[in-house]
Amino acid sequence: MAPHREGSDASVEAMVAQVEKHPISSILIIIAMQTEALPVVNKFQLIENPHSSFPKGVPWIHYHGAYKDIIINLVWPGKDLTFGVDSVGTISASLVTYASIQALQPDLIINAGTAGGFKEKGAAIGDVFLASHVAFHDRRIPIPVFDLYGVGLRQTFSTPNLLKALNLKTGKLSTGDSLDMSPHDEASIAANDATVKDME
Amino acid sequence: MAPHREGSDASVEAMVAQVEKHPISSILIIIAMQTEALPVVNKFQLIENPHSSFPKGVPWIHYHGAYKDIIINLVWPGKDLTFGVDSVGTISASLVTYASIQALQPDLIINAGTAGGFKEKGAAIGDVFLASHVAFHDRRIPIPVFDLYGVGLRQTFSTPNLLKALNLKTGKLSTGDSLDMSPHDEASIAANDATVKDME
């Protein structure tokens, strides 16, 4: 993702120029839950890689395959070894994304899954959103500059053609490690101007 | 750290037996902030490793040295590349710990730093605590089993000799990505029976 700043025509143009110079040939899809991952695995007929380069002992699952001339890798953090539930949340997502970048060197990363949406911001059940910006709502560090680090606002990689071709909605996404929404979270989500809320 | 369960004499004995079979010869110290890390670096006269095996572009700093016959590695996540502040919080700590385990294969990991303590649980300014258990207070997932995964209670590696020899205090530690403490956090910290609160 691009450094912290508001989207501008200039930055979008720069990203498009970058893609034209280095076309995307390898995509990494990160999905937190098995029930979210399997429909994508089935759709693209991806195969589980039993010899992934992840360290021994981690539950991370690597699927791979191709669509036209694009290599597709999908990584799901797997089931927590102690509790047997999907390893949701920002820590697992960060670890598998880091390890997958090291192992697979993708050109583009798509973090996909189900999310909450706010009606008053124009979201409806079944909508598909492409996040324009991502930020945290549960890292409150009320010290100058640390506060901005905690929120960690980032502009996502700009994909104007994708947005247009698939007629998707777009909006800002706020993330945090809780499924519920405390009053403090709600205030931060509003400050993040978020249409979409997820946990990764 | 050991799997989720309450401490018992049997589990402590098992850990002690494990250490006797495989003595600790390499220690990894993870510290979130530069002002916390530098006194340790100076005390043990550690040297910055300019050729660390971390990927290019990350701000993570690796110091190394020895004390008697023990190899000491200290890793500090460095300054955030966008904001220039220490990369505090659970995500940075998890990433550098993962990468350091891969690179350095330590026998023991010490996550050290300053923390908050609760007076009513017996903590005072200047105390040094060895955490007996660690858990999260800001990963609320109110679904059966996912709730336990979110809290993620773990018993730390038992070091009874260290505790005795240095006459340290011990207590449970609760962690989360915010410096402040919302009412929801406060309730979770109480549920975690925490004496110490930190951010990693």
Asked if residue A144 is part of any domain, the answer here is: yes
Q: What is the pLDDT of residue A21?
A: 77
Which comes out higher in pLDDT, residue B9 or A136? A136
Q: What is the pLDDT of residue B163?
A: 93
Could B94 and A94 be called an inter-chain contact, meaning their C-beta atoms sit closer than 8 Å? yes
Asked if residue A12 is part of any domain, the answer here is: no
Q: What is the pLDDT of residue B1?
A: 39
Asked if residue B8 is part of any domain, the answer here is: no
Q: What is the pLDDT of residue B11?
A: 66
Check whether residue A27 and residue A90 sit in a common domain: yes
Residue of A33, A184, A186, A189 to mutate, interface with B, max B Cβ within 10 Å: A184
Q: How many domains does chain A have?
A: 2
B183 contacts in chain A (CB < 8 Å)? 182-183
A87 contacts in chain B (CB < 8 Å)? 149
pLDDT above 70 covers a percentage of chain A that reads 93
Q: What is the pLDDT of residue A11?
A: 66
Residue of A98, A133, A197 to mutate, interface with B, max B Cβ within 10 Å: A98
Asked if residue B9 is part of any domain, the answer here is: no
Contacts with B, A 120-179, CB within 8 Å:
136, 138-143, 145-146, 148-150, 176-179
Asked if residue A157 is part of any domain, the answer here is: yes
Rounded Cα distance between A186 and A188, Å, is 5
Domain closes at, from B75, B106, B137: B106
Check whether residue B102 and residue B121 sit in a common domain: no
Check whether residue B156 and residue B121 sit in a common domain: yes
Asked if residue B52 is part of any domain, the answer here is: yes
Residues in chain B predicted with pLDDT less than 50, given as ranges, are: 1-7
Q: What is the pLDDT of residue A20?
A: 73
Q: What is the pLDDT of residue B12?
A: 64
Could B141 and A179 be called an inter-chain contact, meaning their C-beta atoms sit closer than 8 Å? yes
Closest among A162, A112, A114, A156 to A133, alpha carbons compared:
A156
Check whether residue A81 and residue A103 sit in a common domain: yes
Asked if residue A83 is part of any domain, the answer here is: yes
Check whether residue A107 and residue A119 sit in a common domain: no
Domain closes at, from A58, A91, A114: A114
Could A85 and B145 be called an inter-chain contact, meaning their C-beta atoms sit closer than 8 Å? yes
Check whether residue A104 and residue A153 sit in a common domain: no
Q: What domain range includes position A160?
A: 115-200
User: Which pLDDT band, with edges at 50, 70 and 90, does A17 fall under?
Assistant: confident
Three-state SS string over chain A comes to CECCCCCCHHHHHHHHHHHHHCCCCEEEEEECCHHHHHHHHHHCCCEECCCCCCCCCCCCEEEEEEECCEEEEEEECCECCCCCCECCCHHHHHHHHHHHHHHHCCCEEEEECCCEECHHHCCCCCCCEEEEEEEECCCCCCCCCHHHHHHCCEECCCCHHHHHHCCCEEEEEEECCCCCCCHHHHHHHHHCCCCEEECC
Tens of pLDDT, residue by residue over A84-120, are 999 999 999 999 999 999 999 999 999 999 999 999 9
Domain closes at, from A85, A114, A143: A114
ipTM above 0.85, yes or no: yes
Tell me the average pLDDT of chain A. Answer: 93
Asked if residue B16 is part of any domain, the answer here is: no
pLDDT above 80 for A176: yes
Q: Which of A102, A149, A178 sits opposite B139 (nearest CB)?
A: A178
Compute the average pLDDT of residues A135-149. 98
